[in-house]
C-alpha cells in the first residue's frame, strides 16, 4: 500500500492548490483533512489520477512510501503543533515533516530541535505566491537539515515557479494540469532550522513596504497630479515595462482600471481605506528592533495599516485638524510622473536594503550561512514581490557576496545618484501639500542617515550619560573605550570606565 510519493495534511485553499500542483508534476499524493467531508469534496471537485484521500490518519501514514514525506498546511501556531503531536507516534526515524504554513521562525527552530531528538526530520518551508502560486508554482524557501532537504529537493524544485535562465523573468504559460517546463526553479535550500521561515518573514515585511510605497505613489498622482484611477492605471502599465516591472505593479494597474460592478465607479474608489494585516510585517519590524537593525520603511508600512484601521477617528480628526491647502501640479505632467516613478524606485531600493541587512544580522545571530544572491533569485518568480528588480540584487551579491548594504553596490548607488533629485522633490512636494508618505520619507531618511558620517547621536549619548551614567566613547580614543563625566561634581571630572 506504501505507494504515494508524498502526503499533505490540511485542505484549505493553499493546501488544496499545493496538492494539485504536486500531483500535476507526476507525484502520487495522499491527502488528509481533519474533517473527511472536506477531503471527499476536494477529490470530487478535482478528479486526478495522482491524488488519493484518506479518512483515518493511520491509513494516510501507511499509504506513504518511506522515508515518508508529509506536508502540513494548517493554521500556524497551535494548529501546527497539534498536527505534529498527532504524527509523532505514527511516523518513524528518518521520515520528514514539512511545515508549509506561515510559521514564526522561532517556532520552527523549536519544532526542528524537538523532532531531531526523535530522529525525525523537520523542514520549515516558506511558501509564497498565494493561491495562484501554490497551484501553478510558488517561491519556496525551505529550512532544516541538509539531509531533510535532500529528501524533498526533487519535489520542491519541480513544483516551484520557474524563471528564464538569461533574463531572470518568470516563465508564463503554466496551466492546471500543464505545468511550466524548463527554466530555473524558484526554490533553494536556505539554511538550518528556522532559516526558511525567517527569510519568508522578511519577504513578507518587504512586501508590506512595496505595497505601501505603491499606494503613496498612487496618492501623489491622484491628489497633486489630479489624475483619475484609470489614467494612473495606464501609468502603472508603462512603469511595468521598465525598471518597476513587477507583479505588484502589474496587479495595481489592473485594479486601478477596474470599474465597480454595482455602481460603475472606479473600483478602488468604493473600497474602504482600511487595510488588514496578518502579523508577518509586525514580526519583521519587532525582530528588526530586537536585532538592533534599522528597518524604518517596513515599520512605517505596518504603522500605516494601523493608522488606516482607525477610520472613524480619522474622519473626526479631518474636521478638526488643520493642514496646508492642496496645490495642484501645473508643470510638465510627464516630468511629474517620471519624478514619482524615480521616488518610488529609490524608496524601493532602500526598503530592500533594510530587509537584506536584517537577514545579514540574523545569520550571525542564529549561526546560519545565508546566500543572499540565491534568496533574491528564488524571489524572482512565484512570490508576491517577484520583480525584475530582484535580478539586480542577485547581480549585486554575485559581484560581492560580502556586500554590507545594497546601497553601496555600484548599480544601486548609481540609480540613487541619478534619481535622488526627483525623489527629494516629490517628498518635498507631498510634504508641503500635507500628503502622508511615511515609507517614501522614511526611506529617504534612512538613506541620508546611512550616508552621514557624523550623526547627532553624539548629543544623545551625552544626554544618556548625564541622566543615567550610561557612558560614552570619545572620537579621539579607540572604539571600545568608555568614559563617564561626573555631572554632579562641580568640576565635572572624567573617568574611564573600561
Are 444 and 485 found together in one domain?
no
Are 156 and 65 found together in one domain?
yes
Grid cell for residue 118: 526523535
The stretch 28-37 carries a mean pLDDT of: 96
Are 377 and 463 found together in one domain?
no
- Does residue 250 contact residue 132 with C-beta atoms inside 8 Å? no
The stretch 57-65 carries a mean pLDDT of: 97
Please tell me the least confidently modeled range out of 45-49, 118-122, 346-350, 388-392.
45-49
Question: How far is the C-alpha of 454 from the C-alpha of 403, rounded, in Å?
Answer: 22
The answer to whether residue 1 is domain-embedded is: no
Domain with 476 in it: 457-496
pLDDT at 277: 80
pLDDT at 370: 97
- Does residue 285 contact residue 277 with C-beta atoms inside 8 Å? no
Grid cell for residue 458: 553624539
The stretch 16-37 carries a mean pLDDT of: 96
Diameter over CA atoms, the chain: 87
pLDDT at 235: 98
Question: How far is the C-alpha of 137 from the C-alpha of 116, rounded, in Å?
Answer: 29
Cα separation values, 328 from 223, 227, 229, 295, 427, Å:
7, 10, 16, 33, 15
Provide CB contacts within 8 A for 320, sequence distance 6+: none
Are 126 and 241 found together in one domain?
no
The answer to whether residue 71 is domain-embedded is: yes
**The residue to which cell 535550500 is assigned:** 189
Grid cell for residue 361: 544580522
Q: pLDDT by residue (tens digit) across 292-343?
A: 999 999 999 999 999 999 999 999 999 999 999 999 898 999 999 999 999 9
Rounded percentage of the chain residues whose pLDDT exceeds 70: 99
pLDDT at 278: 76
The answer to whether residue 179 is domain-embedded is: yes
Domain C-terminal end among 160, 193, 226: 193
Domain C-terminal end among 170, 193, 216: 193
Q: pLDDT by residue (tens digit) across 107-155?
A: 999 999 999 999 999 999 999 999 999 999 999 999 999 999 999 999 9
Helix (H, G, I), strand (E, B) or coil at 140: strand
Cα separation values, 464 from 315, 469, 484, 491, Å:
40, 7, 10, 19
Question: How far is the C-alpha of 95 from the C-alpha of 147, rounded, in Å?
Answer: 11
Q: What is the b/e burial string over 420-459, where b = at least 16 CB atoms within 10 angstroms of the residue's CB?
A: bebbbebbebbeebebebbbbbbbbbbbeebeeeeeeeee
Domain C-terminal end among 171, 193, 215: 193
* pLDDT band at 460; cut points 50, 70, 90: very high
- Report DSSP letters for 158-217, one per residue: HHS-EE-TTT-PBP---BTTB---SSEESB---BSTTHHHHHHHHHHHHHHHHHHHHHHH
Total tally of structural domains belonging to the chain: 3
pLDDT at 126: 96
Cross-strand partners of 9? 32, 72
Are 218 and 238 found together in one domain?
yes
Concerning whether 200 is annotated as a catalytic residue, the answer is yes
* pLDDT band at 156; cut points 50, 70, 90: very high
CATH number (domain holding residue 216): 1.10.1040.10
First to last CA, the chain: 69
Are 185 and 206 found together in one domain?
no
Are 188 and 207 found together in one domain?
no
The answer to whether residue 402 is domain-embedded is: yes
Are 432 and 484 found together in one domain?
no
Q: For 384, what's the count of Cα atoms within 13 Å in the CB-facing half-sphere?
A: 18
- Does residue 138 contact residue 129 with C-beta atoms inside 8 Å? yes
Question: How far is the C-alpha of 259 from the C-alpha of 236, rounded, in Å?
Answer: 17
Q: pLDDT by residue (tens digit) across 12-21?
A: 999 999 999 9
The answer to whether residue 488 is domain-embedded is: yes
The answer to whether residue 124 is domain-embedded is: yes
Q: pLDDT by residue (tens digit) across 371-406?
A: 999 999 999 999 999 999 999 999 999 999 999 999
Vertex 478, ends 475 and 480: CA angle to 5°? 105
Rounded to 10°, the helix 195-223/105-116 angle is 170
pLDDT at 480: 95
Q: pLDDT by residue (tens digit) across 164-201?
A: 888 888 887 678 877 888 899 999 999 999 999 999 99
Are 150 and 55 found together in one domain?
yes
The answer to whether residue 213 is domain-embedded is: yes
The answer to whether residue 18 is domain-embedded is: yes
Question: How far is the C-alpha of 47 from the C-alpha of 13, rounded, in Å?
Answer: 16
**Per annotation, catalytic residue among 28, 162, 207, 282:** 207
Question: How far is the C-alpha of 341 from the C-alpha of 338, rounded, in Å?
Answer: 5
The closest alpha carbon to 304, from 322, 337, 277, 325, belongs to 277
**Per annotation, catalytic residue among 104, 162, 200, 392:** 200
Are 247 and 111 found together in one domain?
no
Evaluate if residue 275 carries a pLDDT over 80. Answer: yes
Concerning whether 207 is annotated as a catalytic residue, the answer is yes
Are 157 and 222 found together in one domain?
no
> Of how many residues is the chain composed?
498
The average confidence (pLDDT) of the chain is 95
Are 229 and 178 found together in one domain?
no
Evaluate if residue 1 carries a pLDDT over 70. Answer: no
Evaluate if residue 2 carries a pLDDT over 70. Answer: no
Phi first, then psi: give them for residue 326, nearest 5 degrees.
-65, 125
Amino acid at each position: 500500500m506504501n505507494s504515494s510519493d508524498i502526503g499533505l495534511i490540511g485542505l484549505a485553499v493553499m493546501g488544496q492548490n499545493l496538492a494539485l500542483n504536486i500531483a500535476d508534476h507526476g507525484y502520487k499524493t495522499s491527502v488528509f483533512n481533519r474533517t473527511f467531508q472536506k477531503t471527499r469534496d476536494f477529490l470530487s471537485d478535482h478528479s486526478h489520477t495522482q491524488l488519493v484521500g484518506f479518512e483515518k490518519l493511520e491509513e494516510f501514514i501507511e499509504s506513504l512510501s518511506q522515508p515518508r514525506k508529509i506536508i502540513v498546511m494548517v493554521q500556524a501556531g497551535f494548529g501546527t503543533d497539534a498536527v505534529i503531536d498527532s504524527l509523532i507516534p505514527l511516523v518513524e526515524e528518518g521520515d520528514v515533516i514539512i511545515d508549509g504554513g506561515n510559521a514564526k521562525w522561532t517556532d520552527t527552530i523549536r519544532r526542528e530541535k524537538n523532532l531531531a531528538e526523535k530522529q525525525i526530520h523537520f523542514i520549515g518551508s516558506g511558501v509564497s505566491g498565494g493561491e495562484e502560486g501554490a497551484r501553478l508554482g510558488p517561491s519556496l524557501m525551505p529550512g532544516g537539515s541538509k539531509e531533510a532537504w535532500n529528501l524533498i529537493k526533487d519535489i520542491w524544485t519541480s513544483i516551484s515557479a520557474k524563471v528564464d535562465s538569461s533574463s531572470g523573468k518568470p516563465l508564463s504559460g503554466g496551466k492546471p494540469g500543464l505545468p511550466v517546463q524548463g527554466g530555473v526553479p524558484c526554490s533553494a535550500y536556505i539554511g538550518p532550522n528556522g532559516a526558511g521561515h525567517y527569510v519568508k518573514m522578511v519577504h513578507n515585511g518587504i512586501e508590506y513596504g512595496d505595497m505601501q510605497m505603491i499606494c503613496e505613489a498612487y496618492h501623489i498622482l491622484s491628489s497633486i497630479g489630479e489624475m483619475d484611477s484609470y489614467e494612473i492605471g495606464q501609468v502603472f502599465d508603462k512603469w511595468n515595462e521598465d525598471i518597476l516591472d513587477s507583479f505588484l505593479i502589474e496587479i495595481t494597474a489592473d485594479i486601478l482600471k477596474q470599474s465597480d460592478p454595482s455602481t460603475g465607479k472606479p473600483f478602488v474608489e468604493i473600497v474602504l481605506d482600511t487595510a488588514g494585516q496578518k502579523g508577518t510585517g509586525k514580526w519583521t519590524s519587532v525582530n528588526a528592533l530586537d536585532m538592533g537593525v534599522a528597518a524604518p520603511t517596513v515599520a512605517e508600512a505596518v504603522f500605516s495599516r494601523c493608522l488606516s484601521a482607525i477610520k472613524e477617528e480619522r474622519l473626526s480628526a479631518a474636521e478638526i485638524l488643520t493642514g496646508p491647502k492642496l496645490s495642484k501640479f501645473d508643470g510638465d505632467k510627464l516630468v511629474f510622473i517620471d519624478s514619482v516613478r524615480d521616488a518610488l524606485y529609490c524608496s524601493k531600493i532602500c526598503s530592500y536594503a533594510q530587509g537584506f541587512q536584517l537577514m545579514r544580522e540574523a545569520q550571525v545571530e542564529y549561526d546560519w550561512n545565508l546566500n543572499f544572491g540565491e534568496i533574491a533569485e528564488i524571489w524572482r518568480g512565484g512570490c508576491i514581490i517577484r520583480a525584475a528588480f530582484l535580478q539586480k540584487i542577485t547581480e549585486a551579491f554575485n559581484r560581492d557576496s560580502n556586500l554590507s548594504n545594497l546601497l553601496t553596490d555600484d548599480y544601486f548607488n548609481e540609480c540613487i545618484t541619478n534619481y535622488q533629485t526627483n525623489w527629494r522633490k516629490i517628498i518635498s512636494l507631498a510634504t508641503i501639500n500635507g500628503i502622508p508618505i511615511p515609507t517614501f520619507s522614511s526611506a529617504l531618511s534612512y538613506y541620508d542617515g546611512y550616508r552621514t558620517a557624523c550623526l547627532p547621536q553624539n548629543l544623545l549619548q551625552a544626554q544618556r550619560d548625564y541622566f543615567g551614567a550610561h557612558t560614552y566613547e570619545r572620537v579621539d580614543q579607540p572604539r571600545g573605550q568608555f568614559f563617564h563625566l561626573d555631572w554632579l561634581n562641580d568640576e565635572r571630572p572624567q573617568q574611564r570606565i573600561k
